[in-house]
Amino acid sequence: MISGETRRLLLVHAHPDDESLTTGATMARYAAEEVEVTLVTCTLGEEGEVIPPALEQLGAWAADQLGGYRSGELAAACAKLGVTRHHYLGGIGRWRDSGMAGTASAAHPRAFTRGSVSEQADQLAMVLDEVRPQVVVTYDASGGYGHPDHIRAHEVTMAAATSAASVRRIFHTAAPEGATRRGLAALRAAGENPFRIPDDGELPTVPDEHAGTAIDVEGHLGAKVAALRAHTTQVTVLDDPRCFALSNGIAQPLLSTEYFVLAHGRGDGAENDLFGGLDA
Q: Which residues pair with 38 in a beta bridge?
A: 10, 85
Local structure of residue 102 (DSSP, 8 states): T
Q: Is pLDDT at 2 greater than 60 in this prediction?
A: no
Domains and CATH numbers, the chain: 8-177+204-233+256-264 (3.40.50.10320)
**pLDDT per residue as tens digits for the range 111-135:** 999 999 999 999 999 999 999 999 9
What per-residue confidence (pLDDT) applies to 153?
Answer: 98
- At how many degrees (to 10) do helices 18-32 and 66-81 cross? 30
Local structure of residue 233 (DSSP, 8 states): T
3-state SS class at 214: strand
Q: Grade residue 21 by pLDDT with cuts at 50, 70 and 90.
A: very high
- At how many degrees (to 10) do helices 221-230 and 66-81 cross? 160
- Cα separation of the two ends of the chain: 8
**pLDDT per residue as tens digits for the range 211-242:** 999 999 999 999 999 999 999 999 999 888 89
Q: How far apart are CA 141 and CA 118, in angstroms?
A: 17
* pTM greater than 0.85: yes
Return the exposure string of 44-58: e unless at least 16 CB atoms fall within 10 Å of the residue's CB, then b.
bbbbbebbeeeeeeb
